[in-house]
């Protein structure tokens, strides 16, 4: 089951889209501001974002640029702006598709499916397994023995990167450059927060092993079971 985020400040459009996608078997979360949308993206494992441009606190273009610094999560713009320059801008800053209002809900769903499939095909997910711990990129989740836990896209991208290079130390600069393509001076504190969330979730899942370790003045590393 796909999980999507719909962002729109028009309550009628939000309700119509939520009702349709829920009826088609999707897990749906909604937001009517950019701030709420960013919070949801930080704390959920999502498959796609349907993003309006006119939002009360930040336009969708700016939100898309922020998201693109952290994740390759598919983004489909949904907008009443039909001018070519807006469509070009939306795609050039990292949007995967641009749908103009009014639109067909069925066509929108097909575009969502296509973007999710193409995103997964571009980088085939590879499960990483270390002893009893398994890391699943297809679902942004981690299992240990008979338990599992979901990670947000931001959290999972960092965990997966470190787990692909076990026992290697990476500085915050290297993590930003490799995972998010963002300058370190824009978010060292946010990396510390995300790392704390990752460590807490892993501790809740398997408290007998410290998978993410910090080397003072050096950086972070993933330490698998011996």
- Note the pLDDT of residue 181: 57
- Note the pLDDT of residue 180: 67
So where are the chain's domains? 3-122, 128-222
pLDDT tens figures, 183-220: 544 555 578 888 999 999 999 999 989 999 999 888 99
Indicate the range of 119-133, 138-152, 159-173 predicted with least confidence.
119-133
Whose CA is closest to 115, among 107, 105, 103, 125? 107
Question: Distance between CA atoms of 46 and 3, rounded to whole angstroms?
Answer: 5
Looking at the chain, the whole-number percentage of residues with pLDDT higher than 90 is 56
pLDDT tens figures, 15-42: 999 999 999 999 999 999 999 998 898 7
Average pLDDT, the chain: 87
Q: Is residue 138 pLDDT above 60, yes or no?
A: yes
Domain 128-222 has CATH 1.10.10.10: yes
Q: Which two tokens stand for residue 208?
A: 């007998």
Whose CA is closest to 62, among 36, 95, 39? 95
- Note the pLDDT of residue 68: 83
Q: How do 27-31 and 3-7 pair as beta strands?
A: parallel
pLDDT tens figures, 154-179: 888 899 999 999 999 999 888 887 77
Q: Is residue 182 pLDDT above 60, yes or no?
A: no
Averaging pLDDT over each range in 68-72, 183-187, 221-225, which range is the top one? 221-225
C-alpha 153 chain-centroid distance: 3
Instruction: Tell me which fold the domain 3-122 belongs to.
Output: Rossmann fold (3.40.50)
Question: Distance between CA atoms of 194 and 151, rounded to whole angstroms?
Answer: 10
Question: Distance between CA atoms of 39 and 58, rounded to whole angstroms?
Answer: 14
């Amino acid at each position: 089951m796909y999980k999507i985020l719909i962002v729109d400040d028009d309550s009628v459009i939000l309700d119509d889209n939520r009702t349709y996608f829920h009826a088609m078997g999707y897990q749906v979360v909604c937001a009517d501001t950019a701030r709420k949308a960013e919070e949801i993206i930080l704390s959920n494992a999502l498959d796609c974002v349907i993003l309006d441009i006119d939002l009360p606190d930040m336009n969708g273009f700016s939100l898309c640029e922020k998201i693109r610094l952290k994740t390759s999560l598919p983004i489909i713009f949904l907008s009443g702006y039909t001018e070519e320059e807006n469509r070009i801008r939306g795609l050039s800053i990292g949007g995967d598709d641009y749908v103009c209002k009014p639109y067909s809900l069925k066509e929108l769903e097909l575009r969502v499916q296509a973007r999710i499939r193409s995103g997964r095909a571009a980088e085939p997910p590879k499960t990483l397994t270390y002893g009893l711990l398994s890391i699943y990129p297809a679902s942004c989740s981690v299992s240990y023995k008979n338990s599992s836990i979901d990670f947000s896209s931001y959290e999972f991208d960092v965990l997966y990167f470190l787990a692909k290079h076990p026992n290697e130390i990476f500085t915050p600069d290297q993590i930003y450059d490799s995972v998010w393509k963002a300058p370190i001076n824009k978010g060292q504190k946010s990396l510390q927060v995300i790392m704390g969330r990752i460590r807490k979730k892993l501790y809740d899942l398997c408290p007998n092993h410290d998978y993410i370790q910090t080397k003072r003045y050096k950086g972070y590393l993933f330490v698998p079971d011996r």
